[in-house]
Amino acid sequence: MRRADLRRDIYIVVGIYLSWTLFGVTVFFVDNLLGNGEKTLLTPGGHLHQYQYFELFKELTPVVVLLPAAWIGYSFQRRISFVNDLRAFWPQQVEAVQRTIEYLRRDEGDIDEFERTLTALRSRIDDARALFRRRNPSETATGNYPYEGITHIHHLFQSLGYHDLLPVEEAARARGEIVKTWQKVRGQILVEFDRADVD
C-alpha cells in the first residue's frame, strides 16, 4: 500500500469517527426535545420517550468504532508489508539501472554483459509489476507507475542492440534518456520510504 493510499484510509476513518460523534450529539439533543428524561421505550399512550434514540446510538457505537479500527489496522499491515518488499526491491533496481548506464559508457560491446544487463532489467520489470499496479490502462509507457519507467529503460537499451563497437552518439542519447527516466522512477520510489531529515 502506497503512502498516499494509507493517508486516504486514515482520513476516511477519522471522517467516520467525527461524523458519528456529530451524529451522536445531534441524537442527544433531539431526544432532549422529545421527552422528559425517562429512559423507558414507550409512554402509556405509546409515545417515544427521551433518550430512546440516544440509547440506540450508544448500543451501535462499539460496532461503528471497531469496524473502521479493524480496517485501518489492516491498512497499516499492508503498508508495512509493502515498504518491506520495496526495500528488498530497491537495491536490485539500482544495480540493474546503474549496470545499464555503465554499459552505455563503454567503447566496445560485450555480448555476455549485454545479455546479463537485459536479463536484470527484465527481472526488475517483473519485480515492479508485483509491487505496483497500473490503475489507468491507457497511461503511456512512462506514466506514473515505476514499472512503466523501468520498461521504458529496458526498451531503450534493447532498441540500441548489441554492437562490437558502441555507436557513440546513439549510446549517449540512450544513456541520457535512461538517466532522465531513472530520475523520475527513483523519485516515485523514494517518496514511499520514511527517511530521516539531515540538517
Query: pLDDT (tens digit, 9 = 90+) per residue, 104-119?
Result: 888 888 889 999 999 9
Q: Which residue has the cell 566496445?
A: 108
Amino acid identity, residue 42? Answer: L
Q: Which of 7-16, 52-61, 128-137 has the highest mean pLDDT?
A: 7-16
Neighbouring residues of 22: CB distance < 8 A, sequence distance ≥ 6 = none
Give the C-alpha separation, 66 to 77, whole Å.
16
Q: Give the CA dihedral 174, 175, 176, 178, nearest 10 degrees.
A: 80
Crossing angle of helices 52-103 and 168-190, in 10° steps, is 160
Q: Which of 37-41, 46-50, 72-76, 163-167 has the highest mean pLDDT?
A: 72-76
Q: Which residue has the cell 448500543?
A: 59
Closest by CA to 131, choosing from 75, 90, 162, 70, is 90
Mean pLDDT of 135-161: 73
Give the C-alpha separation, 68 to 76, whole Å.
12
Closest by CA to 4, choosing from 69, 120, 111, 82, is 82
> DSSP states of 66-90 as a string?
HHHHHHHHHHHHHHHHHHHHHHHHH
pLDDT tens digits, residue range 154-165? 999 998 888 888
7, 196 in Cβ contact below 8 A? no
State the Cα angle at 91 between 85 and 92, rounded to 5°: 85
Closest by CA to 165, choosing from 117, 111, 115, is 111
SS3 at position 189: helix
Per-residue confidence (pLDDT) for residue 145, from 0 to 100: 65
> Global pTM?
0.72
